[in-house]
Amino acid sequence: MTDELRYDKLSTSIEIIVAGGEPTATGDADVDVLARLASGLRGLPAPGFKVGLRAELLPGAEARGLGLLARLRAAVSFDRETGLAAAGGGCGLAAGACCVGGTVVNLLGFASAAAVAAFIEASLPYFVSVSLVMMGALLFWVLRREGSGRAMVTRSAIRAGAVVGSAYGVVFAATMALSMAMGLY
């Protein structure tokens, strides 16, 4: 069965589900599993309903700033992967903070290159250790918040670990490259 045919069959099953019926077997076991799962989405809350009811219950919330906070939260909200990448990048930056900080201090003329190089060499293991603990805590927090079932946690952990680790590696490498380019490491 081609992919297009599968997409059509699932779409037909979903039409039936949304109309209130029960989809019949399509002859494709995978599509049938997805259709059964889709029947659990029948009646998914309409986006406007939750917002409208909240506004009806708490009309003063807008005036008190909650609406503004919610809007701000929505404006800066990321996809899960983007958020994880940003957090991983943040940990990478923490790991390389001594490199970046040392470079800035050297550029501003507050310390000699030799002093900065000595500082980076001595402190880098501590910064890396702290950043790894931060990354571990972040992953633990994300998985604990999202986890429901071993299969889901395992897949989620692998994916989250890959995203966070990649972002960490790229940002940390960039900070190291910066200090190397300046001859400080």
Partner 1 sequence: MLSAKQLEAERRLVESSQRHPHHFADLYDRYFDRIYAFALTRAGNRGAAEDITADTFRQAFENLSRFEWRGVPFSAWLFRIAANAATTYYQRSSKEQALPELLGESEASWENRLIEVETRTQLFQLVKRLPKDQRRVIVMRFGEEKSINEVAQAMGRTEGAVKALQHRAMETLRTWVGDSHD
Residue 174 near residue 99, CB atoms below 8 Å: no
Does 25 interact with partner 1 (rule: CB under 8 A)?
no
HSE-CB of 10 using CA atoms within 13 angstroms: 17
- Give CA–CA dist 158/162, Å, rounded: 6
Interaction with partner 1 in 124-183: which residues (CB under 8 A)? 146, 148-152, 155-156
Does 71 interact with partner 1 (rule: CB under 8 A)?
no
140-170-135 Cα angle (round to 5):
15
How many chain residues interact with partner 1 (CB under 8 A)? 46
Residue 55 CB coordination number (10 Å): 12
Does 57 interact with partner 1 (rule: CB under 8 A)?
yes
Q: By the criterion CB under 8 A, which residues form the site for partner 1?
A: 3-4, 6-8, 10-11, 14-15, 18, 20, 33-34, 36-38, 40-47, 49-50, 53-54, 56-58, 60-61, 64, 66, 79-81, 146, 148-152, 155-156
